[in-house]
Chains A and B, each alone.
Chain A
Amino acid sequence: MTEGIAILPAAASIVVLAATMAIGIMAARRAQTLSDFWVAGRSVSVFTNASAISSNYLSAASFLGVAAFVWASGFDGVWYATGFAAGYVFLLLFIASPLRRFGEYTIPDFCHGRFDSRRLRRAGIFWTFVISSLYIIAQMVGVGTLMEAVTGIPWVWGIVILGGVIILYVALGGMTGVTFAQMMQFWIMITAMLVPLVILLSRHGYGEVLTYAYNDTAPIVAEGAPAGAMTIEGAPAFSPEERQSFRNLRQWVSPFNRFDLWSSVSLLVALVCGTAGLPHILARFYTNPNAAAARWSTVWVLVFIGVFYITTPMWGAWARVVLGPEAVIVNQAGEPNQNSMMLVTSAQAGEWAKALVAAGAVAALLSTVSGLLIALSSAFAHDFYGEILRPDASERHKIIAAKIAVVICGALAIAAGLAFRDANIAWMVGLAFAVAASTFFPLLVCGIWWRRMTEQGAFAGIMVGGMISAVVVVGKLVGAWSIEQPAIISVPLAFLAIFLVSKATAGQSPEVWAKLENAFHALHRPGSEARPQHKPKEAADG
């Protein structure tokens, strides 16, 4: 793949890009109002939204990376995969439906509306910016690497082309276009996951594959397997010792190859709390017509991503046992490129399967980056321009501002992707989850369920959680301590700050308490979905 463009995968990628563009252009005519642009008119059905939330969440790193993680680390990869799905349980039980009932456009809207506080909106904008920027830069760096691995397109062009397509269709169709594109992208991804796997498992079943793991035998060498042929310039990808370690399948199948006991626990804490605090995921719940639909959407998200994460370990196990060290190609630096694992493995089912996996990876990239771009630009165009700078601007001006914000944020993301070529993508995404878990997660859980929470408590919580996660990360970078996962410290401290400061400031005037109570009831009272202050015509919803 280093010797030029791979025709079939490149063609499949172009088909996905073209279909996405077509949807964006068609949606542009439907995206007329501000509500269309930010929340797809709040008219998205359960099935569509569940598909869209799933593909918004499943990035290319999940699509190609988690299966490769299982291939490399065995059980710990399975734990990682299931942790991603587990994140939606808390989101469903405590956040999704009240958040939808509150019914604004963004998470900073919730911060402002729930506590009647402008400084909380500003804090919300700031942390949305931090979380979504970390996430989108990691995705953009990944775009270049993946496009190169998948299609052979040079790194810079991969970022520029994909970034350009995303900016164009998000600016044209807003959330309406993103929603339909994400739905299509999800079904491309799941097809790319399932169809080649069925062919592979018909050759060697999952049980057969895992039985080999017990017998400590050499990998089954598939007929026509590219034994070592996938390395460039004839150089072996792994040393003889490493090749030998691939035969120790008993070790591979066992837990704790990558994480120890406590990092297994804290990883899950970060995934469960972080998923429920990611602005680009939470924003999608506003697009359902009412709270009941938001709940059913989450149920289907769990089913969709559950199927996805049940199949990922199957890919990893099949590749490990059947292909062993031959399941990856090496990059120019001579290191095995884990992102190539699914491509190499799928080629065992045929060249068409490889093209399908390439299409799935491109769909995963497009869907996640477009969702992040919406979240990022809404913080500027809706929360900063539309609510703080020019609350009285006309709807037409606000829509123009939204489109300008999409173009600027997208261009900056492309620039950042080009600038941070060597960034550690996994670390950045992990950090985004940790910051989300320490800022929005405590604020949402307490804000939704604790009647006696005050504005001061909310502000203290979001700042303490965010700052402590930043301090933990910086301390780790300069070598002051070795704590890798800030969430395990910062999440409890954020909750503590909310509790203590709310208790200390409980002596509010009756008018302030009445306002807080009103907002609290708006979260929970059935049928209170329609909030007319933003858009009167939505009163008919729900």
Chain B
Amino acid sequence: MTYEQMQARQLKLSLLLAVIFVVTVFTMPFLNHLVPDIMLQPVLGIPLAWLVVGICFHVEFWVIAFVYTTYSNRWERELTDD
């Protein structure tokens, strides 16, 4: 694998994760606007909107960050080890 191919692979992963991030995060205000009653249903004792934005989004960011970093660093190591 050349370094250009590796960089393209990294960029593809970044873009995929960015799309997941943008879609999930920006859907939220629209859901609150369109189906407010569902978003206020208690789940685990916490209103759904609070649970999703206040806790689940953070977990999503952690997963995105972890996946990106693990793979990007691994691909770079493979390239420099060759």
Contacts and interface: CB of A to CB of B under 8 A. Distances in A.
Contacts of A255: 29, 32-33, 36, 39, 49
A481 interface: no
B72 A97 contact: yes
Contacts of B50: 75, 78, 210, 253, 313
A213 B47 contact: yes
A223 B34 CA distance: 40
Interface residues of A, number: 46
Contacts of B44: 207
A206 interface: yes
Contact of A310 (B17, B55, B69, B73): B55
Interface in B35-82: 36, 39-40, 42, 44-47, 49-50, 53-55, 57-58, 61-62, 64-66, 68-69, 72-73, 76-77, 79-80
Tell me whether chain A's interface is mostly helix, strand or loop, or mixed. Answer: helix
Nearest to B3: A525
Nearest to A79: B53
Interface in B20-35: 21, 25-26, 28-30, 32-33
B25 A527 contact: no
B33 A524 contact: no
Contacts of A93: 14, 17-18, 21, 64, 68
Given A89-B61, A449-B11, A82 B66 contact: no
B26 to A, nearest CB: 6
Contact of B62 (A78, A268, A303): A303
Interface residues of B, number: 43
Given A86-B61, A97-B72, A524 B47 contact: no
Contacts of A296: 69, 73
Interface-central residue, B3, B55, B76, by most chain A CB under 10 Å = B76
Nearest to B11: A449
B54 A206 contact: no
B43 to A, nearest CB: 11
Given A93-B18, A93-B68, A210 B47 contact: yes
A94 B45 contact: no
A304 to B, nearest CB: 11
Nearest to A291: B76
Contact of A207 (B6, B36, B45, B65): B45
B53 to A, nearest CB: 5
A28 to B, nearest CB: 34
B14 A94 contact: yes
Interface string A80-106: 011001101110111001000000000
A45 interface: no
A61 B25 CA distance: 24
Contacts of A298: 65, 69
Contact of A526 (B53, B58, B80): B80
B45 A211 contact: yes
A94 B16 CA distance: 12
Contact of A82 (B7, B39, B47, B57): B57
Nearest to A312: B54
A264 interface: yes
5 contacts: A206-B46, A253-B47, A268-B26, A295-B68, A296-B69
Given A79-B28, A296-B73, 14 more contacts: A75-B47, A75-B49, A82-B54, A89-B65, A207-B44, A208-B45, A210-B50, A211-B42, A253-B40, A254-B36, A255-B29, A295-B72, A299-B69, A313-B50
**Nearest 10 CB-CB pairings of A with B:** A207-B45, A306-B58, A255-B32, A264-B29, A526-B76, A93-B14, A295-B69, A299-B65, A292-B73, A78-B54
Interface of B: 3, 6-7, 11, 14, 17-18, 21, 25-26, 28-30, 32-33, 36, 39-40, 42, 44-47, 49-50, 53-55, 57-58, 61-62, 64-66, 68-69, 72-73, 76-77, 79-80
Interface of A: 75, 78-79, 81-82, 85-86, 88-90, 92-94, 97, 206-208, 210-211, 213-214, 253-256, 261, 264-265, 268, 291-292, 295-296, 298-299, 302-303, 306, 309-310, 313, 449, 524-527
